[in-house]
Amino acid sequence: MTQTSKVAFVGAGYMGTEHAKAFADVPGVEMSGIFSRTRERAEKLAQEVGIKAVYDSVEELYEKTHADLVVVTVTELSMNEVSRACFAFPWTVLLEKPAGYNMPDALEIHAAAEAQGRNVYVALNRRFYAATRAALADLDTIKAPRFIKMQDQQDQATALKYGQPEEVVANWMYANSIHMVDYFTAFGRGKVVEVENVFPWTPDTPGIVVAKLVFDSGDTGLYEGVWNGPGPWAATIQTSEKRWEMRPLEQAAFQAAGSRKLESIEGHEWDTAFKPGLRMQAEQAIRAALGEENDSVTLSESLESMRLVQRIFGL
């Protein structure tokens, strides 16, 4: 970064805490203020990471800090209302995923941001894993078509057990499968022109979901989701020259053509010192807020991944 920047926070829960820790580590960042509906939690987090002040509304947070960036980490069902309150002011906004608990909600948030002309990004942190970035950088040197396979696993019963609202769990593919589906947006070149629902989503009896994707670039993809059963989160990207594999997603390895050996790459210390992806994501969000070149995921790009979730699940 070439400038100092002021960062503010809305939300002091688990993800708010993890984001704040990451931003506090970025040189040149002033942790300007925080607002949370639970003031006690906001005060505790402010003391823990060095946020300067606690405020009682989004409006006061902006008026007192004039922050360059606000990081919003409220619950899925609150995101629409709170994000709109943030869009009233000319700071850059980073929304925790998902930016909408279902497709209509996501479209409303996107429309509100567009109406205000705001600079809005979404915290799809798996794009910022060192493993993901290494694979993307290497694959950018290979022109051959890609076969992209994502393996997803979701457990609605466990989500309910841990206190997720029923409305969110009914749309769990937007809240949580978005991570795996977004890899198609990240690794696939061009637009998705066809989605074939091989094993369709059955909401009354969730089980196996399989969909084939075709990109206008010639890339193809396969989504495999296991619902309410055991399975991994894993990603593979196959080309004629090299095959990349991430299982778990935080670790990457490649196999070159003509070799049987899987070569692991070294990770980055940020992905162990912080919740993986958040430290790099924080730096990129600050660059976005300062008008510098960055890799942050725009709200519009996030919406494309939400649309892809909708198509894969036939919603």
**Environment class of residue 203 by beta-carbon count within 10 Å: exposed (0-12), middle (13-18) or buried (19+)?**
exposed
- Show me where the domains of the chain are located: 5-124, 127-274+297-312
Bridge partner list, 122? 95
Phi and psi angles of residue 77, each rounded to the nearest 5 degrees, phi first: -75, -15
Per-residue pLDDT at 45: 98
Q: Tell me the pLDDT tens digit for each residue of 139-160.
A: 999 999 999 999 999 999 999 9
pLDDT tens for each residue of 228-286: 999 999 999 999 999 999 999 999 999 999 999 999 999 999 999 999 999 999 999 99
Q: Residue 2 — very low, low, confident or very high, per pLDDT cuts 50/70/90?
A: low
Digit-coded pLDDT (tens) for 99-111: 999 999 999 999 9
Contact 34, 45 (CB under 8 A): yes
Query: Helix or strand or coil: residue 153?
Result: strand
User: Crossing angle for the helix pair 178-187 and 299-312, nearest 10 degrees?
Assistant: 110
Joined together, the tokens standing for residue 138 give 């290497």
Residue-by-residue DSSP string for 89-131: SSSEEEEESPSSSSHHHHHHHHHHHHHHT--EEEE-GGGGSHH
pLDDT of residue 4: 84
CATH number for the domain whose boundaries are 5-124: 3.40.50.720
* pLDDT higher than 60, residue 1: no
- Average pLDDT over all residues of the chain: 97
Over residues 127-133, mean pLDDT: 98
- Which pLDDT value is given to residue 266? 92
Q: What pLDDT is stored for residue 3 in this prediction?
A: 76
Which segments of 124-174 are extended strands (E)?
A: 147-154
**Is residue 9 a contact partner of residue 35, using CB atoms and an 8 Å limit?**
yes
Burial letters for 205-219: b for 16+ Cβ neighbours within 10 Å, e otherwise?
ebeebbbebbbeeeb
Mean pLDDT of 124-137: 98
> How many residues appear in the chain?
315
Backbone angles phi, psi at 147, to 5 degrees: -110, 115
User: Rounded CA gap, 47 and 292, in Å?
Assistant: 30
Question: Is-contact 175 162, C-beta < 8 A?
Answer: no
Neighbours of 14 (CB within 10 A): 10
Q: How far is CA 273 from CA 18, 19, 157, 210, 266, in A?
A: 11, 12, 31, 35, 15
Lateral strand order in the sheet of 54-55: 54-55, 29-35, 5-10, 69-72, 92-96, 120-123
Backbone angles phi, psi at 31, to 5 degrees: -80, 95
The pLDDT tens digits for 284-310 are: 999 999 999 999 999 999 999 999 999
The per-residue pLDDT for range 84-95, each reduced to its tens digit, is 999 999 999 999
Place of tokens 């600079």: 119
Does residue 209 have a pLDDT over 80?
yes
How crowded is the C-beta side of 96, counted as CA atoms within 13 Å? 25
Rounded CA separation 199/212 (Å): 10
Q: CA 30, CA 274: separation in Å to the nearest integer?
A: 19
Domain 127-274+297-312 annotated CATH 3.20.20.70: no
Q: What is the DSSP letter of 232?
A: -
In tens, the pLDDT along 47-84 reads 999 999 999 999 999 999 999 999 999 999 999 999 99
List, for residues 157-188, the tens digit of each pLDDT value: 999 999 999 999 999 999 999 999 999 999 99
Among 8, 168, 18, smallest CA distance to 72 is for 8
- pLDDT band for position 311 (cuts 50, 70, 90): very high
Are the CB atoms for 72 and 83 separated by under 8 Å?
yes
The two domains 5-124 and 127-274+297-312 share their CATH topology (first three levels equal): no
